[in-house]
Amino acid sequence: MADPDCPFCKIFAREIPAQEVTRTQNVLVFRDLNPQAPTHLLAIPQRHVADLGEFVRSADAAEVGALFTAASHAGREASVSGYRIVVNEGPDAGQSVAHLHLHVLAGRSLRWPPG
Ligand code: 5GP
Ligand code: ZN
């Protein structure tokens, strides 16, 4: 299930250190190495899936719900007056790690549209 070459699988397995915020059996929320806001978290499923499209094709509602619930709770916890969840999929969106992750950004006013 885990991909031996995937950095986020290794973070989930505690083989690479990360600043963890919350962890359940299936979801981990940890701090981004290169934060783009005062709070910049990543929420990942344990299961190795390359991107959101692969996730929704293969996950059941409970698995999707658990990931978004963890991201929402982390965003609300960090929020001063709001937060943003971002998912990059594919080269045009700048996805650089091929293990689905939800960015959770908070702690400053965020511009719109992004990028
Ligand atoms: P993407 O560009 O794929 O949407 O986002 C990947 C994110 O993962 C980037 O914001 C990057 O800073 C973060 N990242 C990449 N490698 C690591 C790592 O080893 N540890 C942590 N904590 N974050 C990472
Ligand atoms: Zn992975």
Residue-wise DSSP of 18-82: --EEEE-SSEEEEE-SS-SSSEEEEEEESS--SSHHHHHHH--HHHHHHHHHHHHHHHHHH-SS-
CATH code assigned at 59: 3.30.428.10
Q: Which of 19, 30, 40, 42 should be mutated for ligand 1, with most atoms under 8 A from CB?
A: 42
Which residue, 57, 50, 36, 33, is CA-closest to 95? 50
Q: Which atom of ligand 1 is nearest to the CA of 94?
A: 2
In a domain, 45, yes or no: yes
List pLDDT tens digits, range 17-53. Answer: 999 999 999 999 999 999 999 999 999 999 999 999 9
On the question of pLDDT at 97 being above 80, the answer is: yes
- pLDDT band for position 78 (50/70/90)? very high
On the question of pLDDT at 1 being above 80, the answer is: no
Active site positions, annotated:
101
On the question of pLDDT at 115 being above 90, the answer is: no
In a domain, 1, yes or no: no
What residues make up the domain containing 61? 7-106
Q: What is the pLDDT of residue 47?
A: 97
Structural domain count, the chain:
1
Q: What is the pTM of this model?
A: 0.98
Q: Which of 97, 99, 100 should be mutated for ligand 1, with most atoms under 8 A from CB?
A: 97
In a domain, 52, yes or no: yes
